[in-house]
Structure 1
């Protein structure tokens, strides 16, 4: 999916092809936005199986799979006398819509989830059983988190350690906080073992970016994704879906507070507030909090007074509304990036949520004690079937493989390639297996001037149909996201 997955695969490919594993590059320029651990893991898969798409795409989801087991383990440690919590929490997490979508993408957040949960488990083990060596292991985990996405891992891991007096007791707080400082130092050393050589190799501007600018800029005034403080709060029902509709949770939320629940709240509340204050917001930034939220929901489910007959009707109502929306949306003037896909939704897609809702209502009604398991299985089945129904539409808008084949052939022939606009420069290097940087153009005069100076060159253009029509070559264009993609040789008006 553009633009993130395609970019990250292109960066990994460029590192692999150039045999440059210290400094990530994007279209020949040092890429300072993310550390290299995900790229290294992709390279490990390529070292084992050769350059391919499937092993790269499986890398983050494998960490997501491991996170399900860590979620169960943490729930078991927190409530050993309530095995239902450990059994239910992974199902709740797996069926959360946001988790089930983003944990399958080639992005950094699933790795951060894994390292965050590993840190929580180490902290719980240290609080319960002692063992100074656990701080050393925690330091290594923090270092891997820093190499995955930078200091953001501290937003998730630091709160429960700093707020430990609220959920645990120890005879020596100096050792507790001293151990945390030791773990921090180890983590920073692990990260600097890459960052310092990379800063030297990448040049002054790159070094400044990875050591200072990126962290400070994203925390104080984000470069992108700026949204209001309350944005995450408005999205909570969507983030927790389908469990935001499960009425037993709302009836059973008044559970008795204990140290385990306070541990979870010491994670959720400070981290959520911190992420809300930071100007840059994306829904997948909440991903590391979802396993703990699933554990809390599992605990509430275990204390719920029991399902009632009317508990199933919110789901039938929701899936009915979704079915109607899938019929109506293609007729509306919905525009903008990935939202354009609604125009390609087949009418048959409406049967998927309607059928899912009916099956769910029937099953929950016949086996009310298995409500969470039935809901989780139904929602997952719904997502799988919906993916299959929409697969052709997704391929039409987001997978221009036919055009990429031509781009790859042109590059092998040694002809120059340019892209317009410049945001396209890091999108197709892996798909086309490009071995040289493309020329990034950002204005129409640049586009026309380059085309005149390079009569044998080709340009990949992403624009609306009217823009392409002025060159008289829009017949070869194909839909891509919310506009059209064209790969052409002459890109200046006829004289």
Structure 2
């Protein structure tokens, strides 16, 4: 047996060595060329601009976006980004570093949780499944709040599971860590940091009958710790901003969940293809993980599996029922699903009858998908990605699928799982960045933002017509006048006198024709319509596809 094979198949082994190996493997995937691509709008630009303004204003209580109050999210991720900017400067690497670190912590904790609950191999396999899931690695390299939320929630839910194990010799420390990370989850995304862990734990107690855990949970001191960590910012921001509570708790929680106010409605089945695609090929093994969980729930390992199943199912159903959906919302279920799959592999790899069908399905789907991706540039009328990009991604998928089919035909299931892991890792490292690079060409404001910063004087007005790309504020390092567009800044635009910063077309024409120097980001078609009314001919400074940067001087 080779040392590598022995490392992955040994029942016992050094936890320190395992953690080091996982850190090296997935640290490379998460941090290599992390700052190579410009920030992609709207999300990356938004979540970089808010902490930049925090540092500029010296105000870490009231978040601002384009210099108006912005209360859609609590500040934990902003604080982490602000700290990263302080340490490494205003750049793309610093903006993405907190999310990448969180993603790595999530992988390492998944290993720790699996090792403690099921044994070394289950923990190792679970970490490998999570780390080779395309969605986890891609979002880990993307500056959004969802990874911070997901890992904080994973740490909270995982610490509760570890504390509640009958064989745990020091449950107190894990209970207190549960309260700590639950508070950080609230600081990352709001009340779901209470609602989702609370619902999962409640259903676990109902189904297992272990109500005595309520006496063991250190509720008085734990709640005190939770409030000590989680409450001060909410108190401080409410005292400074009387309008905060209604907007944040009512609009951003209840109205977002129950109505289509945010314009993010998707059908209830929306997250099914998201989960399948973002965890492919592992997602096809999910049905097999459920087998026997209810029957074995009274055993220690069975109770842990039931908890992981509830963790996955409750979060999945919660967001599926919401009228506001975005792809990363179900990211918090990935560690639990990965652990269930890793534990399944550990238990069944030597008796693989139950794994053959999903493995064949995964191999077939990857083969067909690889061919489809490679042919995409030739079949689409206006392909967004090049032949080379799709050939690389399609080639990886095709090789993964064909290799799996060949191995399965020889009944080599363990080798098939290794092939899945290696090729999925390669897809995330070599394939996904090419898609993101093409996306950045269309949806990044870096080139035009840096150009605006270089051309603008101290009194120059920077404006956007009919759009707001948050990255423009970040790269230009100044406030932007929004013409015919308030969108997510609608709430902040109504606080104080913001009339000079949110204007309509007539006011923009008057501003352009005045002695004031103006630089504007505007669509090519919009400029053509306005041109007859502009007495100062627009001077082209730069362009990005159909978006122009023009000046009146």
Shorter chain as normaliser: what TM range?
Answer: 0.7 to 0.9
Are residue 403 (structure 1) and residue 464 (structure 2) matched? no
Give a deviation string over 1:364-389, Cα, whole Å, max 9, x none. 62753233232121012123222454
Moved more, 321-330 or 450-459: 321-330
Tell me which residue corresponds to 1:458.
519
Contact 1:330 1:345 in 2 (8 A): no
Match of 2:94 among 46, 55, 76: 55
The aligned length equals 470
TM-score, scaled relative to structure 1: 0.84
Match of 2:475 among 412, 418, 431: 431
Match of 2:303 among 239, 259, 263: 259
Match of 1:420 among 465, 478, 488: 465
Cα distance 1:404–1:192, how it changes in 2: closer, same or farther (>3 A)? same
Residue 23 of structure 1: CA displacement? 1.0
Runs of 5+ unmatched residues, structure 1: 335-341
Cα distance 1:174–1:70, how it changes in 2: closer, same or farther (>3 A)? closer
TM-score, scaled relative to structure 2: 0.76
Contact 2:448 2:542 in 1 (8 A): no
Contact 1:139 1:184 in 2 (8 A): yes
Residue 132 of structure 1: CA displacement? 4.3
Runs of 5+ unmatched residues, structure 2: 1-39, 297-301, 485-503, 532-537
Cα distance 1:240–1:309, how it changes in 2: closer, same or farther (>3 A)? closer
Q: d(CA) in 2 for partners of 1:310 and 1:167?
A: 29
Give a deviation string over 1:425-471, Cα, whole Å, max 9, x none. x332222222xx2211104334323322354212122x3x3333335
Cα distance 1:395–1:135, how it changes in 2: closer, same or farther (>3 A)? closer
Q: d(CA) in 2 for partners of 1:192 and 1:348?
A: 47
Q: d(CA) in 1 for partners of 2:73 and 2:313?
A: 26
Contact 2:376 2:390 in 1 (8 A): no
Tell me which residue corresponds to 2:526.
467
Give a deviation string over 1:183-203, Cα, whole Å, max 9, x none. 4564345332112222222x3
Tell me which residue corresponds to 2:490.
none
Tell me which residue corresponds to 1:216.
254
Contact 1:139 1:182 in 2 (8 A): no
Q: d(CA) in 1 for partners of 2:244 and 2:127?
A: 40
Cα RMSD (Å) of the superposition? 3.1
Match of 1:46 among 85, 108, 114: 85
Are residue 146 (structure 1) and residue 190 (structure 2) matched? no
Tell me which residue corresponds to 1:369.
414
Cα distance 1:122–1:313, how it changes in 2: closer, same or farther (>3 A)? closer
Contact 2:465 2:520 in 1 (8 A): yes
Q: d(CA) in 2 for partners of 1:311 and 1:215?
A: 40
Tell me which residue corresponds to 1:121.
158
Tell me which residue corresponds to 1:204.
242
Q: d(CA) in 1 for partners of 2:358 and 2:207?
A: 37
Q: d(CA) in 1 for partners of 2:273 and 2:362?
A: 19
Q: d(CA) in 1 for partners of 2:254 and 2:97?
A: 32
